[in-house]
Chains A and B, each alone.
Chain A
Amino acid sequence: MQQPPFLPPQPSAMLRHFGVTLDDLKKALAAALEKGADYADLFFEHSFENYLSLRDGTVNRASADVDYGVGVRAVKGDQTGYAYVESTNLDDMLNAARTASCIARSGQTRLGGEIKTDVRFPQTRILTSWEDVAVKSKIPYVQTLNDRIFALDRRISKVSVSLNDTTTYVLFCNSEGLCYADYRPMAILTAVCVMEQNGQIENGQASVSQQKGFEFLTDDLLADLAQNVVRKTAVLFDAVKPRGGEMPVVMAAGSSGILLHEAIGHAFEADFNRKNESIFSDKLGKQVCDARITVVDDGTLPYSRGAVNVDDEGVAGQKTCIVTHGVLTSYLHDRISARYYGVAPTGNGRRQSFRHAPLPRMRVTYMENGDADEQDIIAAVKNGVYVDNFTNGQVQIGAGDFTFFVKSGYLIENGKLTQPIKDINIIGNGPQALADITMVGNNCRIDAGAWTCGKNGQSMPVSQGLPSVLVKKLTVGGES
């Protein structure tokens, strides 16, 4: 018999959960508007995070964190007033609302209309909520992953594994009368492996993250993650640093989506553009790369780490084409930037928690398939590098310079992959790198790793993907 899916709570249940009434919400919103703000919202959040860790062969540490509170935002034009409290007591909420209201200095805006609680956003369908799972049921998976990793290679000397599950309940209400509940599960399984060979020590890390319940943990997941972390570590023993300098770079399908995230994704976030600070500020509607290239930021991919049922200001998760056949067709908007540009918000208004005001943020960013086979892309390069494993990246929005750190990859010599490479930074300039993509593969893959994006002090879960592509010139770090 099939297990019935877990039913996420509705707004009425969330009102009870947070101990508030619709009348309380109206009063708090009215207070946020009382000095003339033209928009206000309340973001209630209650999260339960659990962490299990294995070191030296046994699951011997557990952690948990409970976080609860409400953030009140008042917006006047593009100005933001924000305050939060860790209580949902009406007096505390009113104090926070009055603090946020101070962003506006004149006039008084009245709350228009009734609050409607009948809006439903499609919810992530899970089978078993993490809250219903005892720690005893999770431990065997963590232990098994450790055992499987050790079984794969005799050079392994240390393994650590961690399982992180978070359940977040959200209740949202704004001055336009929209009120909804959202249920957000998130799971991360991470493995770190240390291997020793002839006195040399290397370590590698691999992770998988999905918005799933306990059904996230499967035998296949453990087997794949074990293989992955061992492969990533073992390759490092034979790896060298390439000669540094400008050269063609083949980005492998999957986590190479970091190229999109750093080279163009941040610079397409509309807050940077409405402030005219992005190197892409003047490029809307213009050809920015080869007409075969289409790039999307998609909030709708089921279970993806970066997907959203609804963003954090009441806009449905959706698929946004940011580059369509080589033309920059949309920035990534929150409500403030959408109003500035006179367009509909794109569902990119996200926040780390109730402690933060939303900002335009990426969700699942990837390039759609082209028509080239990966082998043909590699064969087109005489001397260059092929990269497929990354740890981190960064970008300077205005200058356009972006970087990503390559944990491992391969040299390409005369159209063939030869020696492994490791530990090099690659740097380029966003618009130039985009224009320099000359071949696009037919093998797009969304990476399932636990990618986390930082901006203005807020961390957000994101996903990224790419088919194999050739960038004809990037600057590769190297020693000679």
Chain B
Amino acid sequence: MIEKQYMKDLAKWVMQYALEHGAQACRVSFDAGSGSEFEYRNKQLDKLQQAAENKLGVALFVRNRYGNYSTNRMDKDELKQFIKKGIETTGCLAEDPFRRLPDPSRCYKGGGGDLLLADARFDDIKADDKLALAKAAVEEACDADARIISVTAGFCDGESRHFMADSNGFEGAIQTTFYNLSASVSLKDNGDARPEAYWYDAALQWNELQKTGVGKKAFERALQKLGQRKVKPGKYAVLVDNMNVGRLLSPLMSAMYGNNLQQKNSFLLNKLNEKIVSEKLTLTDEPHIPHAFGARWFDHEGVATAKRAVIEKGILKTFFIDTYIAEKMRIEPTVGSPSVLTFDGGTKNFDQLAASLKRGIWITGFNGGNSNSTTADFSFGIEGFLIENGEITTPVSEMNITGNLLTLWNNIAEVGNDPYLKSPWRTPAVLFDDVMMS
């Protein structure tokens, strides 16, 4: 892994060179990463991979014009040519008077403390120990049932370092690690179908990774899928588990981004401080939770992150507005994107929500689909289970849910209390009323 001081020194050299050769302002970032990957299939090592990589990015502000350029060639002579070409290219563009670095008063100034995102033991974990995890995950499942066609389990990990500086004096660094153990199981069903299911665990620290049970859980989920079929079309109560709510939240979040708003490509245009969804939804950006996926002290421009209400009891409280969009739309900047999204949870866990369903669908996965970014209309393929009187009765597949995202999020029956902690979006399970299935 490349040294922190080298990253910092090279980034600053690039910045100085750009400023001396025609850029009026400049932001430089340096990303370095390394990682490994091991995959077992049916008791045999199937794949191993190991690598390290670097990327240097430079954003150039040249006579009211803007361009951004990146390379993994770190030789200084090549970098000189690369920067000069970037300055020349930028100089050919049309003027864009709204491009500028963020005001230094908005940028992170350090002192925020350790967010505990990097495992100090990362280099000490032996390859054989990683291999053993993937092997054990396969072994948990591969002899469990005669209908098993294939079991695959993978371990991957990575370490990344990010350094960023701008010519207004901002400097910031982030270091993170991750570990991931996953398994997938294919079963032979009646007929030709071979349903497949997966499970995984992810952690920032080796000690926090769930090292057993992933293969077994993947097998159990595959077993539940046997006999998948369509159910009668119509309106259903739909329970989306915490791993899958993000798919329904994603278009809502996209509609809050400044770039989409400025291009009129958002169904939330002009909706700030209006009630857009059910009052049961309260969503907060909490960037500074230690040990959290997505936690950070500054965004992609170096702007300091802060706790921020996103949706409060159904009312839209913020857009994600970076410096450029703020200047262009003549509105106050916020932050470029959310960091860690938390939900005000309800009182029931997933099992209690499922038990409360008289007749409904538990969605365990999405299969394709999309939504309209200006109207919020959506149509997604789904799979899951029919739940009747609180019990799973039928595995369901080859069906669509269709509707409007704002209507859907207005039809929240209950929000679960089980936030998904393996993602920057800590989504709980959500139960929606009246969702059209076909």
Contacts and interface: CB of A to CB of B under 8 A. Distances in A.
A83 B50 contact: yes
A78 B398 CA distance: 33
Interface stretch (B15-23, B93-101, B349-357): B93-101
B263 A60 contact: no
B265 interface: yes
A476 B399 CA distance: 9
B49 A403 contact: no
B93 A79 contact: no
A84 B51 contact: yes
Contacts of B196: 277, 396-399
Contacts of B193: 279, 398-400
Contact of A399 (B53, B194, B400): B194
B318 interface: no
B374 interface: yes
A425 B369 contact: yes
B297 interface: no
Given A60-B65, A398-B195, A403-B367, A86 B93 contact: no
Contacts, number: 248
Interface string A54-96: 0110111111111111000000001111111110000000001
B438 A60 contact: no
Interface residues on A, range: 35 or more
Interface residues on B, range: 35 or more
B233 A423 contact: no
A202 B373 CA distance: 8
Contact of A405 (B47, B66, B263, B370): B370
A203 B373 contact: yes
Interface stretch (B82-90, B114-122, B158-166, B306-314): B82-90
A201 interface: yes
Interface stretch (A173-181, A302-310, A387-395): A387-395
B388 to A, nearest CB: 22
A391 B192 CA distance: 29
B402 A479 contact: yes
Contact of A357 (B47, B397, B398, B436): B47
Given A60-B94, A79-B45, A84-B51, A66 B400 contact: no
B54 interface: yes
A401 interface: yes
B92 A60 contact: no
A241 B192 contact: no
Nearest to B127: A102
Contacts of B67: 61-64
B368 A427 contact: yes
B372 interface: yes
B150 interface: yes
Contacts of B379: 241, 405, 423-425, 477
A59 B67 CA distance: 11
Contact of B49 (A357, A402, A407, A479): A357
Contacts of A201: 264, 269, 374-375
Given A100-B48, A399-B195, 12 more contacts: A59-B94, A62-B92, A81-B49, A99-B50, A275-B149, A279-B193, A399-B397, A424-B400, A424-B402, A425-B370, A429-B398, A478-B402
Top 8 A-B pairs ranked by shortest CB distance? Answer: A244-B438, A403-B368, A398-B194, A58-B94, A394-B368, A477-B400, A477-B379, A425-B379
